[in-house]
């Protein structure tokens, strides 16, 4: 089942209450917050109301918060090799 990956890029400060209400309904409260919503006409209509404020992409599966954190974690840049016995 496809999902919309919606990330809030611009702040809602100074916007009409109606627009802020749409952001709250989608669960976007802070900048750079990401939510996954199922693809349906209702969600698409909400996204169209705030299209200037968000970045949207379509993905196949929704990620949990822990999975998103793990994907953002950078590669350590080094590998630890075990020393051989008698080396």
The full DSSP string for 2-38 is: -EEEEEE-S--TTS-HHHHHHHHHHT--STT-EEEEE
Cα(86)–Cα(12) distance, rounded to whole angstroms? 63
Per-residue pLDDT reduced to its tens digit, 1-38: 899 999 999 999 999 999 999 999 999 999 999 999 99
Q: Percentage of residues in the chain with pLDDT exceeding 90?
A: 75
> What are the extents of the domains in the chain?
3-72
Question: 3-72 maps to which CATH number?
Answer: 3.30.1390.20
Cα(73)–Cα(8) distance, rounded to whole angstroms? 20
- For the entire predicted model, the pTM comes to 0.80
């Amino acid at each position: 089942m496809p999902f919309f990956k919606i990330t809030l890029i611009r702040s809602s400060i100074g916007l009409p209450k109606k627009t802020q209400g749409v952001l709250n309904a989608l669960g976007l409260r802070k900048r750079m917050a990401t939510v996954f919503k199922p693809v349906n006409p209702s969600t698409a209509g909400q996204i169209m109301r705030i299209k200037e404020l968000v970045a949207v992409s379509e993905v196949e599966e929704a990620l949990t918060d822990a999975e998103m954190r793990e994907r953002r974690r950078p590669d350590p840049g080094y590998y630890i090799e075990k020393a051989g016995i008698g080396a």
